[in-house]
Amino acid sequence: MWECARQQPELEDMARQELERCLRWRPSSSHPRTHLLRGPS
């Protein structure tokens, strides 16, 4: 699923920043799926 992200780390960083920004504006409680995107870490 993240093969493209592995090949292009900068895209993964951008996606991570977007996710962090989304989590910052929207409480994770309202989006129970967000923790799945973040992974075990």
Residues 5-40: tens digit of each pLDDT = 467 778 888 888 988 887 776 655 555 565 566 655
CA 37 to chain centre: 5
Query: What integer pLDDT is reported at residue 19 of this predicted model?
Result: 84
**pLDDT at site 8:** 74
State the Cα–Cα distance between residues 10 and 2, nearest whole angstrom. 13
pLDDT on residue 2:
56
| Model pTM above 0.85 | no
Instruction: Give CA separation, 25 vs 18, 32, 41, in Å.
Output: 11, 14, 20
Q: What phi and psi, each to the nearest 5 degrees, are found at residue 31?
A: -130, 85
Distance of CA 4 to the CA centre of its chain: 14
pLDDT of residue 3: 66
